[in-house]
């Protein structure tokens, strides 16, 4: 008996007891146990924490033990199955009915399983060495760049999507931080949990109706059944039944460059005129009942997301920060010298992979790879980074520009009250500006004891000194 047959038997037993199929993590536990893996290795392969895997495994062994009337655990699972086979107490009878001792599992139950169940439909389960067929359209996705270790972020996303069935996820961070690279790394890990995967860029700011038409056209070409839309759902999604498709099939939709549908020179998250219906669309997908997932990639968090997300809600946000020690790999690839200085570079450029690649190329070109020579200058040289920072800062509202211009003149982090005392902004306007800058990740929050202080990243501070202060 190979591992796929073991999984089929276990799935039959669990369904016979609970009316539900084994889920992705339970399957990973059984597969790893059959292959004599320990919990740490299973946790790594399933992209979960070891403690969570042990918790799920404990419940699974208890369920199997209750079903079979025999104590089952990780250490004896394979031995027990092999003993059943040897003792002829295991058999597959007519119509593929599984018989173990006095326990019989009727496969006719499968026809009663709803597509909206949180467990896998049997029609999507792998058979033999084949994988379930997934229809994908990644034509808008860029070529994958070098990917640097994001194990923690991948584990979080896997848990949100596969275990929590999160409907709307926002991954936001500064340009070049690695949002797209992370998502492209995620897709192969979860693709067999979906019927359809579509990646679209909003860089050309398509109207919502154009986007929905495009998505539905692909779903129809990919073989998705055409659902019957309700009048209410059709009215709230621009007259198109996209939500019904997301209910009838499990879809993963990825929208990149979401910031392009926001207005420039307004507070963060304000939609361009005519694009406000995107906010309604995002809200509906987060709150309506369906089994699909929408991932948004953006420089800034949409305004309505803060109200939607929460610990027990199906809407989550992941703020993507810079790399830590993993960023040293960039400097190894560029063959920079003086490894003991690399951590200083990583801190100055806040671990942004795109920024670090630009700086490493500059150090190799101008200083022969000498990091210490580059760092010996009093001024933090920006070079090609200036054009990237200009794109971010050009989007700012007037009050935001006032706040960060003043912060650029302060060496140490400061309290909001000190900002207020030095700017001619009403308290309301000041707080709105600071909140908006936080949503854009352009100011850093620092805790000092009980105080909450604010400052700028060194790179942004240098850019602003040059631009706004003539430094």
| CB distance 232 to 177 below 8 Å | no
> CA 223 → CA 123, 136, 195, 218, 379, distances in Å?
15, 12, 10, 9, 58
**Three-state DSSP state, 122:** helix
Summarised one tens digit per residue, pLDDT across range 345-402 is 999 999 999 899 999 999 999 999 999 999 988 778 888 888 888 888 888 999 999 9
Q: Which residues of the chain have pLDDT under 50?
A: 88-89, 91-96, 102, 106-130, 230-240, 471
Q: Packing angle between helix 50-68 and helix 24-34, nearest 10 degrees?
A: 80
**Three-state DSSP state, 340:** helix
User: What's the CATH architecture for 388-467?
Assistant: Orthogonal Bundle (1.10)
User: What's the CATH architecture for 135-319?
Assistant: 3-Layer(aba) Sandwich (3.40)
Half-sphere exposure of 232 (CA within 13 A, CB side): 2
Count of CB atoms situated within 10 Å of the CB of 309: 18
CA dist., res. 90 & res. 82, Å (int): 9
CA dist., res. 238 & res. 291, Å (int): 21
pLDDT given for residue 85 in this prediction: 57
| pTM for the full predicted model | 0.68
CA angle 430, 436, 438 (to 5 degrees): 105
> CA 289 → CA 72, 82, 130, 292, 294, distances in Å?
37, 43, 31, 9, 13
CA dist., res. 328 & res. 344, Å (int): 11
DSSP state of 74: T
DSSP state of 112: G
Average per-residue pLDDT in the chain?
Answer: 81
pLDDT given for residue 226 in this prediction: 65
pLDDT given for residue 84 in this prediction: 63
* Domain-wise residue ranges, the chain: 3-113, 135-319, 325-377, 388-467
pLDDT given for residue 71 in this prediction: 84
pLDDT given for residue 275 in this prediction: 93
| CB distance 198 to 218 below 8 Å | yes
Count of CB atoms situated within 10 Å of the CB of 387: 9
Closest CA to 221 of 203, 245, 201: 245
pLDDT given for residue 123 in this prediction: 33
């Amino acid at each position: 008996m190979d591992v796929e047959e073991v999984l089929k038997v276990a799935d039959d037993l669990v369904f016979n007891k609970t009316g539900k199929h084994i889920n992705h993590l339970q399957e990973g536990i059984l597969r790893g146990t059959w292959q004599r893996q320990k919990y740490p290795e299973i946790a790594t392969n399933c992209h979960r924490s070891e403690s969570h895997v042990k918790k799920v495994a404990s419940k699974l062994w208890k369920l199997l033990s209750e079903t079979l009337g025999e104590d089952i655990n990780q250490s004896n699972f394979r031995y027990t199955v092999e003993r059943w086979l040897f003792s002829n107490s295991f058999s597959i009878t007519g119509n593929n009915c599984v018989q173990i001792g006095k326990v019989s599992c009727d496969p006719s139950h499968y026809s009663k399983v709803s597509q909206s169940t949180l467990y896998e439909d049997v029609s999507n389960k792998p058979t033999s060495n084949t994988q379930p067929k997934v229809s994908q359209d990644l034509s808008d996705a860029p070529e994958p760049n070098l990917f640097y270790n994001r194990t923690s972020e991948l584990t979080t996303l896997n848990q949100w999507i596969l275990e929590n069935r999160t409907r709307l996820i926002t991954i936001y961070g500064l340009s070049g931080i690695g949002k797209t690279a992370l998502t492209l790394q995620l897709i192969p890990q979860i693709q067999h949990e979906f019927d359809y995967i579509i990646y679209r860029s909003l860089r050309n700011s398509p109207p919502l109706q154009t986007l929905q038409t495009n998505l539905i056209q692909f779903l129809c070409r990919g073989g998705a059944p055409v659902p019957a839309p309700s009048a209410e759902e059709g009215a709230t999604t621009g007259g198109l039944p996209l939500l019904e498709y997301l209910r009838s099939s499990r879809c993963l939709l990825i929208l990149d460059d979401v910031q392009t549908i926001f207005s420039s020179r307004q507070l963060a998250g304000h939609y361009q005129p005519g694009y406000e219906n995107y906010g309604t669309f995002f809200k509906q997908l987060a709150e309506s009942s369906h089994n699909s997932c929408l991932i948004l990639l953006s420089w800034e968090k949409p305004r309505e997301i803060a109200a939607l997300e929460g610990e027990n809600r199906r809407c989550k946000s992941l703020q993507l920060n810079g790399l830590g020690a993993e960023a040293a790999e960039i400097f190894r690839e560029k063959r920079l010298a003086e490894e003991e200085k690399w951590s200083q570079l990583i801190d100055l450029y806040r671990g942004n992979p795109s920024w670090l690649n630009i700086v490493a190329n500059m150090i190799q070109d101008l200083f022969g790879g000498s990091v210490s020579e580059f760092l010996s200058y009093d001024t933090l040289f920006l070079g090609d980074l200036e054009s990237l920072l200009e794109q971010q800062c050009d989007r700012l509202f007037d009050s935001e520009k006032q706040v960060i211009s003043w912060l650029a003149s302060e060496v140490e982090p400061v309290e909001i009250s000190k900002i207020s005392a030095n700017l001619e902004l009403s308290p309301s306007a000041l707080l709105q500006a600071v909140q908006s800058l936080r949503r854009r990740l352009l100011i850093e929050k620092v805790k000092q004891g009980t105080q909450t202080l604010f400052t700028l990243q060194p790179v942004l501070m240098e850019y602003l000194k040059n631009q706004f202060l003539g430094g």
